[in-house]
Amino acid sequence: MELLRVTYRLDGDPSAAAARADAIALEQTVEVPRAVAMRDAFIANEIVGRVESIDATADGARLATIAYPVAATALDPAQLLGVLFGNSSLHADVSCVDFDPPPSLCKALRGPRFGIAGLRALTDVRERALTCTAVKPLGHSPGALADLLRTFARAGIDVVKDDQGLADHAFCPFEARVAACLAAAEQVAEETGHRALYVPNLIGTPERVFAQLRFAEDHGARAVMVSPMLLGLPTFWELCHRHASVPVLAHPCLGGAVRYAPELLFGKLLRLYGADAVIFVGYAGRFGTPRETCAAIASNLRRRWGGLAPSLPIAGGGVALENAAEAVSFYGRDAVLLVGRSLQMDPDRLVERSRALVDTVRDASAVLPGER
């Protein structure tokens, strides 16, 4: 029987940790008292979770690892979330910090379709870390956003994404914005030979998001971005595996509102569901993610895991031009530096700062150790 192992952090009384872990094993599967569950051999053996280990953390909490029969998930993207952390999320002293999906679950959910290799091929960047910025702020017209995109593309930036706040606004409709930005990228490609990868943001209910995807693909978009925690992970999965024929980037919006460990949510869950690239908020910016968490996210996205393609880490959240070189040495080549507001800090030096980012990342990549 294949098992799904999930690790929870228990912040309550350590002497109650064993009982608490056992309660979670029941809550996440049968949600009845153990005595009731044990009356049925099938339920007792093939449904109920089992506590495998309880260890102390350095700060005195407990880490409980529970093994669930994978059958409880029905191999479904929504049900998996319920088994991982559904009802137990309602206990304030429990966090979900890690999970280890068995082969059948990886095969069912599939993970990235393009991943690092696909995005490198699309951007034609084989040997170095990639650069990324965003067209924003919300409130600009499609024409103004397309002008910004032209500036970034002429500077040589690899990936120019929409801000995640760009929806289908009356003052900047989705279709007009995407058409204008795609045309701008194409225009710069004809002028300079550098075709920046413009990544439109899709947002809305499933019907609208799938229609936006069709529009974007029909008009030549070569990648798209969504915020999976706004849409819901099951919708995200369906977008990746039932609708999209281009790579999908995941934005972390609303992702801090969950009591999942960041290295689980951004490093594993989004990769398992199909993100070809995952934006997360890095250590150098305004969100203050610890360096070791950033390293764990990047490592989880790229390492061999479940037979899934690696996903491209995109470090954002306030990475500045001034620490771009250090960030390249931290994250390495298979990473994207997403530098947004730092480029727009001084609108009169937008061109200069954009070019400086491109040069910095190229130079910092060149001195990295390793094989390429």
With b meaning 16 or more CB within 10 Å and e meaning fewer, what string describes 255-283?
beebbbbbbbbbbbbbbbbbbbbbbbbbb
Find tokens 């620490």 and name the residue: 323
Is there binding between residue 2 and a second copy (CB under 8 A)?
no
Q: Which is nearer to a second copy, 115 or 262 (CB)?
A: 262
Site for a second copy in 261-320 (CB under 8 A): 281, 286-287, 317
The C-alpha atoms of residue 354 and residue 357 are separated, in whole angstroms, by 5
Selected binder of a second copy within 117, 230, 325, 356 (CB under 8 A): 230
Q: Which is nearer to a second copy, 20 or 333 (CB)?
A: 20
The 100-119 site mask, x for binding a second copy (CB under 8 A), equals --------------------
Q: Which is nearer to a second copy, 8 or 305 (CB)?
A: 8
Binding residues for a second copy, rule CB under 8 A, total 85
Q: Which is nearer to a second copy, 131 or 235 (CB)?
A: 235
Site for a second copy in 130-149 (CB under 8 A): 136-140
Site for a second copy in 32-71 (CB under 8 A): 32-33, 36-37, 39-40, 42-43, 46-48, 71
Stretch of 154-162, 215-223, 254-262, 299-307 lying at the interface with a second copy (CB under 8 A) = 254-262
Stretch of 116-124, 146-154, 158-166, 300-308 lying at the interface with a second copy (CB under 8 A) = 158-166
| CA distances for 372 relative to 298, 313, 367, angstroms | 19, 18, 11
Q: Which is nearer to a second copy, 348 or 371 (CB)?
A: 348
Is there binding between residue 205 and a second copy (CB under 8 A)?
yes
How many Cα atoms occupy the beta-carbon half-sphere of 280 within 13 Å?
34
Is there binding between residue 211 and a second copy (CB under 8 A)?
no
Is there binding between residue 344 and a second copy (CB under 8 A)?
yes
Is there binding between residue 121 and a second copy (CB under 8 A)?
no
Strands 94-100 and 3-10: antiparallel
Selected binder of a second copy within 17, 51, 64, 72 (CB under 8 A): 72
